[in-house]
A and B are shown apart, each in its own frame.
Chain A
Amino acid sequence: MSDASEYFEHGADVGLIGRGATLEEAFEAAAAALFGIMTDVSAVKAEQAVSVEFEEADVELALVRWLNALLGQSQERKLALGRFWIERDGVCWRGGASGEPWRAGLERGVEVKGATLTGLLVTQAAGGWEARCVVDV
């Protein structure tokens, strides 16, 4: 996982942070942080792709919807996901990820149940964008 993905303290669950030069990069880094709780994302092979699409005007709710859409796809398809991309066109968001079916040898971390609205913050600073929220594990 790159330096763009980081974690912050939460009493029972896990707070995650994604940073990037653009909003989209910050969202991608947040996704890497989320799946980094479940496995070593750098070891996940890009064998299969999933795609997500949604409309959301509120960028903070968009972060939650993006992360939860990936979780839903990952669980429905029984895939470990490792690489992520997202594009924004106004209120329309299109993104996806690549990964592989869970296999022996992939690190087993902790299952994430969902991204929450707690600690939810998407901000733009001098160095770029930061997207953060608490995820329920």
Chain B
Amino acid sequence: MDLGQLQQVDAWCWTAPRRSGETRGEIRLYGSAELVAAMDDKVLEQITNVARLPGLVGPAMAMPDAHWGYGFPIGGVAAFDPDAGGIISAGGVGFDISCGIRSLRSNLTVADIEPALAPLADALFRTIPAGVGEEGEIRLGPGALDAVLEGGARWAVAAGYGSEADLEFLEEGGSIGGAVPESVSALAKKRQRGEMGTLGSGNHYLEVQVVERIYDAAAAQAYGVREGQVIVCIHCGSRGLGHQIGTEFLVSLAAGASRLGIRLPDRELACAPIRSPEGEQYIGAMNAAMNCALANRQILAHLARDAFRRVLPDARLDTLFDVSHNTCKAEEHVVGGKQRLLFVHRKGATRAFGPGHPALPARYRAVGQPVIIGGSMGTGSYILAGAATSEARAFASASHGAGRAMSRHQALKRWRGRQLIDELRARGILIRTRSMRGAAEEAPGAYKDVDEVAGATEQAGLARRVALLRPRVCIKG
């Protein structure tokens, strides 16, 4: 992206001035000059289109890890007022509704897992269904699936996957209100058969990581994180059910937008007024998919615990936090000194409530919400904490990952899966996957520098770094 077309708001924030006669909201691109310059031109085009949608409150924003998406850029954040004609956009949430990361802190150190690393990787790979065509063992009839869609992780705990103690550390206590299973099609429910408790593929993973460095001692203490500790992160979403909901509403809302009086600058921004039957139907289905994702990650956490205990019987994995990064949530925010209910779209962006936010668990309230920036399988990931400035900067939002620097197609031309896996093993990182193509596409070199993204996220006042995690085992789909 040519920085010459942008104006610098401050050291870590950029905007694009409106052209003469152009009516749209403000735009903000967060990041270092290097990160913003490295963003695809499509990011600016897409976030500019978002700024043209009705009922936008505040700027349409791109996080430091932003890259070309569909409709919204990945890393796009935008808030809409339901009482000012604001919209809900299926393209602003994406296909993998409520894709996110569950992080678990262990009672283990790197010394505990080192001698058992290969058996641990094998046990996890045998236990976690991962990759295209793989199914889970859980089979749910239509009635039971509706209970999942209403109960989320609470359903999973009641069904024996994990414990009540997990729920305190999940967004909304693990169960999103306003889910309407009747708004979810029969096909979406059928697609979920065999999908509960599965990881998926692409950039989804389960990683065993080790805390290499602590940046914020107070937050690390609150989160129960210390140097040398083993952490597990599980990245996945709402599986076939969410994909089908996204698919159906994307087409139906795109086709019906003009009837609702909405002129879409890009059909992929398919949307409806929040206060409309179409908007309400999507919101009900989306909330159901969020619960599906929360239940799925809860089951996967349970399966990970089982696998750990088979290899390391004294292992204990407690939930650190669970963050979603493909969502639209109804939240209270202060705008111009006034409290307002806004629908905040975060597509490839993480909620990042700052210290003192009432929605946070008591244990974390003083330091802010845990935020996970997932990196590639060969580099690292970060735990951050929502900053005091997060709210004013981006409606309490932050980056969600390293962000791709190279297309999957380019990565396939450059790397071979087997060779990459061998190279990572030589560096002490064990990869388990059925897909050599998937491994090549997810090559660490295909991603941006996660250190730069995490640093920019902190410098931009979106969240502050707490800990750096290095991967040791990665289960890929």
Q: Which residues of A contact B (CB under 8 A)?
A: 7-15, 38-39, 58, 61, 64-65, 68, 71-72, 75-76, 78, 80, 102, 106-111, 113-118, 120, 134, 136-137
Alpha-carbon separation in the docked complex, A15 to B70 (Å): 11
Alpha-carbon separation in the docked complex, A42 to B326 (Å): 35
Given A76-B193, A117-B268, A120-B267, verify A12-B435 contact (CB < 8 Å). no
Q: Please pick, from B42, B94, B133, B410, the residue contacting A136 in the complex, using a CB distance under 8 A.
A: B94
**Interchain Cβ contacts under 8 Å between A and B, 5 examples:** A10-B68, A10-B408, A12-B404, A76-B193, A113-B95
Alpha-carbon separation in the docked complex, A137 to B196 (Å): 19
Alpha-carbon separation in the docked complex, A76 to B195 (Å): 10
Q: Please pick, from B133, B200, B240, B438, the residue contacting A102 in the complex, using a CB distance under 8 A.
A: B133
Alpha-carbon separation in the docked complex, A117 to B246 (Å): 12
Residue contact B200 to A117, C-beta cutoff 8 Å: no
Given A11-B42, A38-B132, A78-B135, verify A110-B201 contact (CB < 8 Å). yes
Q: How many residues of B contact A (CB 8 A)?
A: 50
Given A12-B69, A108-B434, verify A117-B254 contact (CB < 8 Å). yes
Which residues does chain B contribute within 8 Å of A7, judged by CB atoms? 409
Residue contact A9 to B244, C-beta cutoff 8 Å: no
A31, chain B: closest CB distance, angstroms: 15
User: B271 near A: Cβ within 8 Å?
Assistant: no
Alpha-carbon separation in the docked complex, A111 to B409 (Å): 15
Residue contact B70 to A134, C-beta cutoff 8 Å: yes
Chain B 258-280 against A: per-residue CB contact (8 Å), 1 yes, 0 no?
A: 00000000111010000000000
Which label, helix, strand, loop or mixed, suits the secondary structure of the A interface? Answer: loop
Which residues does chain A contribute within 8 Å of B362, judged by CB atoms? none
Which residues does chain A contribute within 8 Å of B94, judged by CB atoms? 136
Q: Please pick, from B68, B194, B250, the residue contacting A11 in the complex, using a CB distance under 8 A.
A: B68
Give me 7 other A-B pairs in contact (C-beta within 8 A), A13-B70, A117-B268, A120-B267 excluded: A12-B407, A12-B408, A68-B247, A68-B251, A76-B190, A114-B247, A136-B96
Q: Please pick, from B71, B96, B435, B477, the residue contacting A118 in the complex, using a CB distance under 8 A.
A: B71
Which residues does chain A contribute within 8 Å of B477, judged by CB atoms? 110-111
Q: Please pick, from A64, A78, A107, A118, the residue contacting B194 in the complex, using a CB distance under 8 A.
A: A78
Which residues does chain B contribute within 8 Å of A11, judged by CB atoms? 40, 42, 67-69, 404, 407
A75, chain B: closest CB distance, angstroms: 5
